[in-house]
Structure 1
Amino acid sequence: MAVLFLGLMGPSVSHAQVHSCQVRIDGSNPCPVRLVRPEEAPLSAMAMLGKALFFDTQLSGSGRLSCASCHVPAAHYAPDTALVFAQGGQNMDRFGVRAVPSLTYRERQPPFSVGPDNATSEAAPPAPPPPGIRNVKSASDTGASALAMVPQGGLFWDGRADTLQSQAEGPLFDPREMAATPHLVAERLRHAPYSASLFRLIGAGASDKMLTAEALFALARYQIEAKAFHPYSSHYDDWLEGKARLSPEEAEGMALFNNPSKGNCAACHLSGVDGEGRPPLFTDHQYEALAAPRQKLSLPGSPDLGLCAAGRADIGHDAAYCGFFRTPSLRNAATRHVFFHNGVFTSLRQVMDFYVLRDIEPERFYPRRADGTLALYDDLPPRYWANIDKTDAPFGPRHSPALTPDEREKIIAFLGTLTDR
């Protein structure tokens, strides 16, 4: 039986053309494409320096953590343990407050903006829509939702950094993570095994401030240039190019993933080759308020408000952005140990159940108070509940779940095809 696949082609392909492209009964792709991957080249001197920095534990306050301690190469530059939050601090006795994301596939991450084309404008971002007013996002018409005035781009779960260079500052100087100080970093850079290479690139008379800034830039160059951070080597990439076949379960999962009335996953996790022929990143770089349950390990009495509390001067603490977190790429999601910004879920099955049953069986995800009432949306104050997505499938009131348990398992099988070799 042929399985319908939506979202293979770029935006210039009509829906009629997309509907005519079906997975063959043997799981092969009848519409193969040539993927345009980043060009491969030897690492520049700056990127080579960044590689040395990436694995240097001496840049941390404890002398025991490097970037690679949490962003493990063998785990697709994500944690390789089931720890919800990274362990760090000067004495390795503290913990971060959010789940550590993967560093892969950031070479195409746009800077933060609100609405279309704002990234190229010096004007202030347009005002967000009033709480509760939002565009419906559909896997069959992602272009329409992209035209809405929505937050998009940026790094970290809350978009507070615009570049990989500024992102590296976050964990490096966070007292709960690498716990370094600018003075300590500069001092250790001056005496590092690679210091000669560093000074050849930036000059022997560099100040401490310039030394640290160039080191952070080198880290960014390493992530941009090294193929390991964006290999596009998954089974799905091979399938797109007609070099592999999907199993019946994977093919059905793909159809459910892209079906706007079923999983509707592709509304946010774009699955199609873009207009330039580049492989899909499985994210639209936008933000959603999904009301994930509170993580029991989080600081008591401190709800995580996400984007509105990111400290960005361009949006401030606008209530319309509270509860919003960045949509992550689903590439290599099947290898992760924790999910969502607070690591509240520990399996893809839990994630799928939450998407499908949050509004039907909320008691499965939210705790009860002492009086027996349900503490609905327990990590988001009620004044921000209007921001929660209750419109896009599979969310929203309905008589029955959008996906059966068997269909959820098939989507999980498809997600397994996104793991890089």
Structure 2
Amino acid sequence: MTLRTNVAFPPPLPAGKQPDPRTARRTFIRVLVWAIPGVVIALAVMAGYALAYPERMPEAVGELVEDLTGANPHPVHLVRPDTAPLSSVALLGRELFNDPSLSASGKQSCASCHSAQHAYGPPDDLSVQLGGPHMTDAGYRPPPSLTYLYRQAPFSIGPDAGDADVVVNLDQAAAAAQGVQRAVKTAGAAPAAPAMVPQGGLFWDGRADSLQRQAIGPLLNPVEMANRDVNEVVQKLSTGKYRDTFSKLFGPAIFDHPDLLASEAMFAIGRYQVEDPSFHEFSSKYDYWLEGRAHLTQAELRGLRLFNDKDKANCAGCHVSQVSRDGLPPLFTDQQYEALGAPRNKALPVNKDPKFYDMGVCGPFRHDIATQTQYCGMFLTPTLRNAAERHVFFHNGVYHDLKQVMNFYNLRNTSPEKIYPRDASGKVMKYDDIPAKYVANIDVADAPFDRKAGDQPAMTDAEMDDIIAFMKTLDDGYKAQ
């Protein structure tokens, strides 16, 4: 079929035919007769609304503009991190980050599990990555994204623990909070009181307090880069291609102090993550919408409102979507910890042992507050930026797409039989990845988890699709108009 592309609009009249002015006039009058009442009614409604709710009028007008155009009626200025050429230390860190020779197998680098092409997260949909001396050992948890960590606070418990000048005993802080009811997290409100739950830190359990300390973890993990100890890492740094660089940056005496050499190498990796803008681009469609430089579709707008609706999805209760008071873009995390009760991932080799449970903050990989069992089953709330780029979700990698994640939130309490397996007798094994004695730690207060079995789910399928459409606007790399 050939499409005509040169058709004039409106099409020309046949030769000899001229428009009848009387017919045109009558048509115009009819349009006015039909249109004017509608305009009058709309103006009357707006006037009545303004008289009844004057404080809501600006917001209502903004929502009307937003609905009609998809534009943000209240654009803001976002304060992004400064950009500059990478320092010599950061350039060294970039080389170390991408060097597989630092692993026991010679095949795995930091970038292997934190791919720049996948928002510094895993490059595939495996629940956990393979590593070890022969690249055959399965990990325990999926690697979280390394993006947007430049503002991550150190791990703490209590409102004063973020003060770098205050030395806090975590056991004492946790004990002081024990028995105090946790604050309900509500979208649109300030983050819940941090005294009730842990906050900050790196890894799923927050056991590292800096990018420097985080970097050494995979190098020594037996199922990841699998070096036997720090000395083996130092040996590779001392005899490899980095020797001249380390000498120039830190002086030749650095090789007389192996621990210091390792520390400076990890510091370099941390500096790379802080200085390179690819780790915190803030170049998503949502960022540009906030600034008035992009328009959201109707589905994305509906998803944004559901995301922020405290009675529906309530996503923003933990994944904060508001710009900070000083103009910093939202990170889409409150940096706190939650026990969600995700179903057990039977595909993980470590879970073949029925007695093994990953308890997050209280073990098995961190031990300093293992006795504070009120935190068992809690894991760090990750950023949702670039979440649509991921193919593995939650601390055990049990889900592999956003619709599965949304179904979990929507149905965990209302229809648990659709989320959890059944035992031999047919009973639903709700919360099957946490020992029964810690089930009380699981969040049942925050929407949408505040519903009970048989209740109407918080969201319809169409609403969940809209939320996913909005979440896709959080992916970096959008080209603003």
Pair in the same fold by TM > 0.5: yes
Corresponding residue for 1:69? 112
Give how far 1:19 is off.
7.4
- Per the alignment, residue 272 of structure 1 pairs with 322
Which residue is equivalent to 2:181? Answer: 133
Matches within 5 A, 1:229-248: 229-248=279-298
More helix per residue: 2
CA contact (8 A) 1:309 1:317 kept: no
Supply the distance in 1 between the matched residues of 2:56 and 2:128 (Cα, whole angstroms). Answer: 43
Secondary structure at the aligned position of 2:244 is classed as: helix
Q: In 1, Cα distance between the equivalents of 2:67 and 2:342?
A: 38
Match among 193, 196, 204 for residue 241 of structure 2: 193
> 1:149-228 maps to which residues of 2 (within 5 A)?
149-180=196-227, 181-206=229-254, 207-228=257-278
Q: Tell me the TM-score normalised to structure 1 length.
A: 0.93
For residues 320-359 of structure 1, the aligned pairs below 5 Å read 320-359=374-413
Point out which structure has higher relative CO (alpha carbons under 8 A, 6+ apart).
1
Q: Identity over aligned residues, as a percent? A: 50
SS of residue in 1 equivalent to 2:328: coil
CA RMSD, aligned part only? 2.0
1:122 paired residue number: 167
Of stretches 195-204 and 35-44 in structure 1, the one that deviates more from structure 2 is 195-204
Paired with 2:313 and 2:247, the residues of 1 have a C-alpha distance of 53
Q: 365-374 vs 307-316, which deviates more? A: 307-316
1:358-369 aligned at under 5 Å gives the runs 358-369=412-423
> TM-score under structure 2 normalisation?
0.81
Counterpart Cα distance in 1 of 2:314 and 2:167: 34
Are residues 351 and 25 of structure 1, via their aligned partners in 2, closer, same or farther at CA, if it must alter by over 3 Å?
A: same
> Does the 8 Å contact 1:54/1:67 carry over to 2?
yes
- How far is 1:316 from its partner? 3.6
Tell me whether 115-124 or 275-284 shows the greater mean CA deviation.
115-124
Query: In the superposition, relative to structure 1, how do residues 233 and 128 fare at CA in structure 2: closer, same or farther (>3 Å)?
Result: farther
* Structure 1 residues 77 and 393, CA gap change in structure 2 (3 angstroms): same
Q: Residues 179-205 of structure 1: CA distance to partner in whole angstroms, max 9, x if unpaired?
A: 013222111112222321122111212
Number of equivalences? 408
Write the distance in 2 (CA, Å) between the matches of 1:391 and 1:179: 41
1:90 is the counterpart of 2:144? no
Aligned-partner Cα distance in 2 for 1:267–1:17: 25
Bigger Cα Rg: 2
Separation in structure 1 between the aligned mates of residue 174 and residue 399 of structure 2, nearest angstrom: 34
Question: Per-residue deviation at 1:396?
Answer: 2.1
Give the Cα–Cα distance (whole angstroms) in 2 for the partners of residues 77 and 371 of structure 1.
Answer: 44
Kept after mapping to 2: 8 A contact 1:128/1:150: no
Shift of 1:407: 0.3
CA deviations over 1:99-136 (Å, ceiling 9, x no partner): 11110000000000112221213243253644693211
Matches of 2:391 and 2:115 in 1, distance apart? Answer: 13
| 15-24 vs 133-142, which moves further | 15-24
In structure 2, do the counterparts of structure 1 residues 208 and 19 end up closer, same or farther at CA, with 3 Å as the change threshold? Answer: farther
Task: Confirm whether residue 306 of structure 1 aligns to residue 354 of structure 2.
Answer: no
Structure 2 residue 346 is the aligned partner of structure 1 residue 296: yes
Q: Does residue 461 of structure 2 align to residue 405 of structure 1?
A: yes
Label 1:322 to 1:17 Cα distance change in 2 as closer, same or farther (>3 A). Answer: farther
